[in-house]
Amino acid sequence: MDINSLFSESVDKVTNLDTSKLPNKILLEIYALYKQAKFGNCNTPKPSFWDVKGIAKWKAWNEKKHMHSDHAKKNYINLANTLPM
């Protein structure tokens, strides 16, 4: 199976997961890897100081800067495989 198919399956798995019990650190990593895999480097302006959640998400994605899309997909797949079903 190719990386795009595996990535798509992993995205479906994560989408259907109850993420309420996952730590924020894991949720941010999932978010950042997904965004890097799909869109490349962070292309949005940094949110305002008052948007704490937005800043955390922006920072997590921005930390993946220059990570190749396939590498982000592999990391996303590996992380998704460690999550409880």
pLDDT in tens, 54-78: 999 999 999 999 999 999 999 999 9
Please calculate the CA angle 63-40-69 and round it to the nearest 5 degrees: 95
What's the confidence (pLDDT) of residue 2? Answer: 94
Question: Residue 53 sits in a domain of what CATH number?
Answer: 1.20.80.10
Q: How many residues can be counted in the chain?
A: 85
Give the dihedral sign, CA 77/27/29/43. Answer: positive
Model confidence at 3: pLDDT above 90 = yes
Instruction: With cut-offs at 50, 70 and 90, classify the pLDDT of residue 85.
Output: confident
Q: What's the predicted TM-score (pTM) here?
A: 0.93
Model confidence at 84: pLDDT above 90 = no
Q: Which domain holds residue 41?
A: 3-82
Nearest one of 49, 9, 71, 17 to 26, comparing CA atoms = 17
Q: How many domains does the chain have?
A: 1
